[in-house]
Amino acid sequence: MPLPRQVFIAVVGAGGVGKCFLSQLQGLATKLSQSPGTPYYLSLIWLSTSKKAVYHADYRSLSNWESEIQNATKPTLPLSELCEYLVKAPGKVVLVDNTSNQDVADSYPNFLKKGISIVTPNKKAFSGSYELWTNIFGAASNGTGIGGYVFHESSVGAGLPVISTLKDLVETGDEVQKIEGVFSGTMSFLFNSFQPTSGGGGKFSAEVTNAKEKGYTEPDARDDLNGLDVARKLTILARLAGLKVESPTSFPVQSLIPKELESCSSGDEFLQRLPEFDDQMDKLKTDAEKEGKVIRFAGSVDVPNNKVKVGLEKFDKTHPIAALKGSDNIIAFYTKRYGDNPLIIQGAGAGGEVTAMGVTADLVKVLRLLH
């Protein structure tokens, strides 16, 4: 009889994605523990928010994470102490980082070196300095069994199979020529509403307010409109395609925040003054319309020419990027093998459940590799 297999899970972050992940984890743990072959036991031994943490010194599983974290009184530990706690766990450990915190991201190499695996949607780790990128993958296992594994499917396009597909293309020797798409649910919704292929659409400022009211933007819409979120995703894809991109600000990124509004002291003030610039946006729309095109906020990586860019572009109305619906993302891979018609992946690229799904799927992959 093979021995029961146990893996210890530590979760940092219990916000929108974190909560969805914890619920998916529960389902997965139940399924694995009832596996007809050798059952698998997942033990949640750490859960923390930015302030509080719940864990037991003897590595007992948390019995009911929802009430435990709600009633928690212990402050969370510094990351170095969390690492020490996890290293001493009586078995293999996976750290699930459901935050978008730079400090947690900066600590990945330490966790990995100690054999702790990481799964995460945290873009900061893979789109920050190129040095952090090389440190993370230098510390991670390449199958030698020394470092931990690291997976981050949800850092681009949430649960859509974007990163795994790009890795497969590269690993099997295809030549990626161009990656192009719409990488932000907010920008997708905004421009699909501002200039639908069927015509119409409202003033740009009104569409921003509408998107914010519908919950499609960050609490401060400027955090979407500055293009940095898209630039981070393009940085990750460009690096996976083999380009040495220094940082998400080392290539042209068009911000939709007009220069004159950069000094606004609040998101509300910004939204109030945004209508002053509606004429400019309308002109872009009309110009595109004259060419039979629509404008979209897109990003692209041109691999042979080592060029990455993010910003407004015009697309034929029949182009798959123009035809996008709702807040969907679309990612097109142009490669030598796929020729003129790219490999396209499309669907919701944001939201708690689909982001958590990418994290949970990554966890399953790590579990397979750990045993």
The residues annotated with a catalytic role in the active site are 233
Per DSSP, 7 falls in state E
DSSP letters spanning 47-95: EE-SSBEE--TT-PPPS-HHHHHHS--SBPPPHHHHHHHHHTSSSEEEE
Which residues fall within 8 angstroms of residue 51, CB to CB, at 6 or more apart?
Answer: 75, 76
Instruction: Candidates 34, 172, 263, 265: give the one binding its own copies (CB under 8 A).
Output: 172
Provide, rounded to whole angstroms, the least separation between the CB of residue 38 and its own copies. 5
End-to-end, the C-alpha distance of the chain in Å comes to 16
Q: How many amino acids of this chain bind its own copies (CB under 8 A)?
A: 53
- Tokens 């029961």 found at: 4
Instruction: Candidates 165, 210, 254, 255: give the one binding its own copies (CB under 8 A).
Output: 165
Question: Do 182 and 330 contact (CB within 8 A), yes or no?
Answer: yes
Tally the residues of the chain: 371
145 assigned binding-site residue: no
143 assigned binding-site residue: no
Nearer to its own copies, 16 or 161 (CB): 161
Nearer to its own copies, 248 or 349 (CB): 349
Instruction: Candidates 15, 33, 35, 56: give the one binding its own copies (CB under 8 A).
Output: 35
Segment lying near its own copies (by CB under 8 A), choices 24-32, 112-120, 241-249, 306-314: 24-32
From residue 83 to residue 122, what is the string marking binding to its own copies with x (rule CB under 8 A)? ----------------------------------------
Instruction: Candidates 15, 33, 38, 102: give the one binding its own copies (CB under 8 A).
Output: 38
Opening angle at CA 40, ends 39 and 46, nearest 5: 150
Which residues fall within 8 angstroms of residue 290, CB to CB, at 6 or more apart?
Answer: none
- Tokens 């212990």 found at: 74
Q: Is 357 in the site for its own copies (CB under 8 A)?
A: yes
Which residues fall within 8 angstroms of residue 322, CB to CB, at 6 or more apart?
Answer: 197, 293, 294, 296, 315, 316
105 assigned binding-site residue: no
Instruction: Candidates 221, 288, 348, 350: give the one binding its own copies (CB under 8 A).
Output: 348
Provide, rounded to whole angstroms, the least separation between the CB of residue 152 and its own copies. 15
**Both tokens assigned to 9:** 């899970």
Instruction: Candidates 164, 210, 247, 255: give the one binding its own copies (CB under 8 A).
Output: 164
Segment lying near its own copies (by CB under 8 A), choices 110-118, 235-243, 308-316, 345-353: 345-353
Instruction: State the binding site for NADP(+).
Output: 13-18
Instruction: State the binding site.
Output: 13-18, 99, 123, 218
